[in-house]
């Protein structure tokens, strides 16, 4: 019985020894090996032999591009507007030893670095500039943190601004401001239209007055010519005036008799005298 136990213990010990001594690193990873607590070497993908119980795999680091989702945060612009923004960073480990020994947690370090740099960049801009300058923010952000992450054995492949928008309170204020601006423009447009209409109406009245004056002048000229002709045809001084007044009188009677809804027959007041004169002459 004791022999069987010893055999099992030896088998387990042998298995553990082989497991600790023969290590296979998969593609896309690099392993950091420490010997008695001190950095020894970095294992590349493939088969490796280690000294069991002395050499230890302390870190397993992926060499693929890492996608880091930067948490959403509130940022205050230079003109005291509150924006909500987040980003995404693409990072690759190029120096495994620096990545594991240069900083406690390089992923958390990159996230915090991006957040603080993003706050500083947007805080130096005004609201309208921040909302319309994503490419500029991205470029400045990448340039500001590229050297810092390089010290940790990392390469910043790219950083993108996922979203940048006003906070709900600020968005409501902007909508109210936009509505007020639209109302102001509409009021100005209406006032300008009323002004142009008034100008056109005044010009129309002026033109009508000018034309009326021209008509009056022409009528007066025609009347003067008519008086001259009548005066030439009737030598007596009073006859031309009487002729013209009679003509106006007859025209007025005609207009009154032909008015809409008129059922009254108009006769001249001196009709009897006229008839008496005609009968008496006979």
Q: How far is the C-alpha of 98 from the C-alpha of 143, rounded, in Å? A: 21
The tokens of 214 are what?
């021209």
Mean pLDDT (the chain) is 80
| Domain annotation for the chain: domains and CATH numbers | 2-61 (no CATH), 66-166 (3.30.479.30)
pLDDT tens, 113-133? 999 999 999 999 888 888 888
Query: Would you say residue 282 has pLDDT above 50?
Result: no
| pLDDT, position 267 | 55
Confidence (pLDDT) at 109: 92
pLDDT score, position 278 = 41
Q: Which of 171, 167, 175, 170 is nearest to 73 (CA)?
A: 167
Give the lowest-confidence range in 10-19, 26-35, 252-261.
Answer: 252-261
Q: Nearest 5°: phi and psi at 166?
A: -70, 155
Token readout for 156 is: 């910043």
The mean pLDDT of 209-223, rounded to a whole number, is 79
pLDDT tens readout for residues 135-174: 899 999 999 898 889 999 999 998 999 888 887 777 677 6
The more confident residue out of 177 and 61 is 61
Residue 61: pLDDT band with limits 50, 70, 90: very high
60 burial via Cβ count (<10 Å: 0-12, 13-18, 19+) = middle
Q: DSSP E strands: which ranges in 96-166?
A: 154-166
């Amino acid at each position: 019985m004791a022999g069987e136990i010893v055999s099992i213990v030896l088998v387990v010990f042998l298995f553990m020894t082989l497991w600790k001594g023969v290590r296979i690193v998969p593609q896309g990873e690099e392993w950091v090996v420490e010997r008695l607590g001190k950095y020894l070497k970095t294992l590349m993908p493939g088969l490796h032999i280690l000294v069991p119980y002395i050499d230890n795999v302390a870190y397993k680091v992926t060499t693929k591009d890492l996608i880091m989702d930067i948490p959403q945060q509130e940022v205050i612009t230079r003109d005291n507007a509150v924006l909500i923004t987040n980003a995404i960073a693409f990072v690759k480990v190029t120096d495994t030893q620096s990545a594991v020994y240069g900083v406690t947690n390089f992923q958390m370090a990159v996230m915090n670095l991006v957040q603080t740099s993003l706050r500083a960049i947007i805080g130096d801009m005004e609201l309208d500039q921040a909302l319309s300058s994503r490419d500029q923010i991205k470029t400045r952000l990448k340039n500001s943190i590229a050297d810092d992450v390089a010290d940790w054995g990392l390469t910043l492949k790219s950083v993108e601004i996922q979203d940048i928008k006003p906070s709900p309170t600020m968005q409501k204020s902007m909508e109210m401001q936009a509505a007020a601006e639209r109302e102001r423009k509409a009021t100005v447009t209406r006032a300008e239209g009323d002004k142009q209409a008034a100008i056109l109406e005044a010009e129309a009245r002026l033109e009508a007055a000018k034309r009326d004056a021209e008509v009056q002048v022409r009528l007066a000229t025609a009347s003067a010519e008519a008086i001259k002709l009548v005066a030439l045809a009737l030598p007596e001084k009073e006859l031309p005036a009487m002729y013209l007044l009679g003509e106006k009188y007859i025209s007025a009677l005609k207009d009154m008799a032909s008015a809409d809804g008129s059922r009254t027959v108009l006769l001249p007041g001196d009709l009897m005298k006229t008839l008496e004169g005609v009968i008496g002459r006979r």
